[in-house]
C-alpha cells in the first residue's frame, strides 16, 4: 500500500482507481492551496502526488521527494503541465503524467463560448441590460461582428485546436492553422505572422513552454486586424497581457476572449477595464463530467506507476 497526497479537493469518484487498489489517499477536503512548504512535505511523505495547475511542483519539492522520501509519481490533473519541472523529475527518476484527451471537447466548447461571446459582444450587451442602461431595441445598438463565414486562425493544432476546427466547419468558416512542423493537412501555414494578419478570429492552442511564452507579444498583437478577435484558452503567459490590454483600449483589435491569465488569479487591471473583453476565470474544462474524468485519469496514471506499470499518459521521457 502506497501513500498518495492529493493537493486539492477532487470530484466524488475521481480517486476510485487509487482507493480500489488499496492505497492510502490523503485528501485536502478544505481545498486550501498548498504553499511551497506543504508541497515539499507532500513530496517527502508520499509515494505519489496528485496535483493541479495551481501547484508549482518545482525542484525543491521533487528533491524532497527523491532524497528525503520515496516519491515515484507526480500526476497532474490537467493536460498542461507547465507547473511541473519535468526535466528535474526525469533526472530524479520521478514519473510525471497529465490528463490529455478527456478534456478536449469541453475545452473546445469553452473556446467557442469565447469566440461567440467576444465576436457578438454578449457580455457587454448583458451588462447594459443588467445595469438598466438598455432603453429598448435600437437598430444600431450593440452592433458586433459575425462569426459565420469568417476566417479562423488556429495557433497550435493538437487535440483541442482540431476540436475547435471541427466546430468551425458548421459555422462555414475558412480555417487555417499554424504549427512549427508541417501537419500535411489543408490550411497549414508556416507563417504565424501572416495567419495573425489575415484571420478574423485567432484562437491559441499551444502549450506553455519556453518557446511559447509571450508568443503573442506586442509586435504580433500589432499585426492583428483591427476587426480581429483574439481568444486564449491555453495558458495566460502565451500572450503579453499588458500589450493586449493596450491594444483593446486603443481599438487596435476588435475584441478578446480570455479564459487564462498571466498571473492567475490576478488579472491585469488594464484588462479588467478594457472594452470588448470577455474574461472567464479559467473554466475551460470545468464541467462535472470532464473534471471527474480528469481526476480518474490522473488517479489511473498514479496507480499504474505505483503498480510498476507504464502509465497511459507519461510525459517524462
Give the integer Cα–Cα distance in Å for 10 and 254: 38
Residues 44-73 that bind ligand GLV (CB under 6 A): 53
- Interface with ligand GLV (CB under 6 A), residue from 14, 43, 65, 80: 80
Q: Of 30, 94, 42, 83, which is closest to residue 235 (Cα–Cα)?
A: 83
- Interface with ligand GLV (CB under 6 A), residue from 199, 212, 255, 285: 285
* Structural contact between residues 236 and 268, judged by C-beta atoms closer than 8 angstroms: no
Give the integer Cα–Cα distance in Å for 312 and 302: 10
Smallest gap from residue 103 Cβ to ligand GLV (A) = 5
List the beta bridge partners of residue 230: 202, 256
Cα→Cα distances 293→87, 100, 297, Å: 27, 10, 6
Number of residues counted as binding ligand GLV (CB under 6 A): 7
SS3 at position 182: coil
Q: Which of 24, 126, 264, 309 is catalytic?
A: 264
- Interface with ligand GLV (CB under 6 A), residue from 74, 79, 113, 306: 79
Smallest gap from residue 53 Cβ to ligand GLV (A) = 6
Residue for cell digits 475551460?
Answer: 284
Residues 102-121 that bind ligand GLV (CB under 6 A): 103
Smallest gap from residue 89 Cβ to ligand GLV (A) = 17
Could you tell me which stretch among 5-13, 19-27, 43-51, 74-82 binds ligand GLV (CB under 6 A)? 74-82
Q: Which of 235, 276, 291, 296 is catalytic?
A: 235
Nearer to ligand GLV, 97 or 285 (CB): 285
78 binds ligand GLV per the rule CB under 6 A: yes
Nearer to ligand GLV, 81 or 254 (CB): 81
* Structural contact between residues 189 and 178, judged by C-beta atoms closer than 8 angstroms: yes
Nearer to ligand GLV, 253 or 258 (CB): 258
Is 235 one of the annotated active-site residues of the chain?
A: yes
Smallest gap from residue 111 Cβ to ligand GLV (A) = 12
Nearer to ligand GLV, 101 or 187 (CB): 101
SS3 at position 1: coil
What DSSP line would sit under 134-178, residue for residue?
Answer: --S--TTTT-----TTSEEEEE--SHHHHHHHHHHHHTT-EEEEE
Q: Which of 220, 282, 291, 296 is catalytic?
A: 282
Give the integer Cα–Cα distance in Å for 160 and 99: 13
Residue for cell digits 483593446?
Answer: 248
Residue ranges in contact with ligand GLV by CB under 6 A: 53, 78-80, 103, 284-285
Residues with catalytic roles: 235, 264, 282
Amino acid at each position: 500500500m502506497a501513500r498518495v497526497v492529493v493537493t486539492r479537493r477532487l470530484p466524488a469518484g475521481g480517486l476510485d482507481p487509487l482507493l480500489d487498489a488499496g492505497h492510502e489517499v490523503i485528501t485536502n477536503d478544505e481545498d486550501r492551496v498548498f504553499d511551497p512548504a506543504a508541497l515539499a512535505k507532500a513530496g517527502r511523505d508520499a509515494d505519489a502526488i496528485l496535483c493541479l495547475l495551481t501547484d508549482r511542483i518545482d525542484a525543491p519539492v521533487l528533491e524532497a521527494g527523491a532524497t528525503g522520501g520515496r516519491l515515484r509519481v507526480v500526476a497532474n490533473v490537467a493536460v498542461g503541465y507547465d507547473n511541473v519541472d519535468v526535466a528535474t523529475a526525469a533526472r530524479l527518476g520521478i514519473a510525471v503524467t497529465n490528463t490529455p484527451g478527456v478534456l478536449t471537447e469541453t475545452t473546445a466548447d469553452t473556446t467557442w463560448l469565447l469566440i461567440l461571446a467576444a465576436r457578438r459582444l454578449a457580455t457587454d450587451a448583458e451588462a447594459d441590460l443588467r445595469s438598466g442602461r438598455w432603453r429598448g431595441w435600437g437598430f444600431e445598438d450593440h452592433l458586433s461582428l459575425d462569426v459565420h463565414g469568417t476566417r479562423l486562425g488556429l495557433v497550435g493544432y493538437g487535440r483541442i485546436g482540431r476540436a475547435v476546427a471541427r466546430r468551425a466547419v458548421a459555422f462555414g468558416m475558412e480555417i487555417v492553422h499554424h504549427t512549427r512542423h508541417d501537419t500535411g493537412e489543408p490550411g497549414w501555414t508556416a507563417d504565424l505572422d501572416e495567419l495573425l494578419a489575415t484571420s478574423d478570429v485567432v484562437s491559441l492552442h499551444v502549450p506553455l513552454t519556453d518557446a511559447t511564452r509571450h508568443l503573442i507579444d506586442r509586435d504580433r498583437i500589432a499585426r492583428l486586424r483591427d476587426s480581429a478577435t483574439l481568444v486564449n484558452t491555453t495558458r495566460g503567459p502565451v500572450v503579453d497581457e499588458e500589450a493586449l490590454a493596450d491594444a483593446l483600449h486603443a481599438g487596435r483589435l476588435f475584441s478578446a476572449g480570455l479564459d487564462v491569465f498571466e498571473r492567475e488569479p490576478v488579472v491585469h487591471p488594464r484588462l479588467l477595464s478594457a472594452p470588448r473583453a470577455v474574461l472567464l476565470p479559467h473554466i475551460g474544462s470545468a464541467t462535472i463530467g470532464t473534471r471527474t474524468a480528469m481526476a480518474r485519469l490522473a488517479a489511473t496514471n498514479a496507480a499504474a506507476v505505483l503498480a510498476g506499470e507504464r502509465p497511459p499518459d507519461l510525459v517524462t521521457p
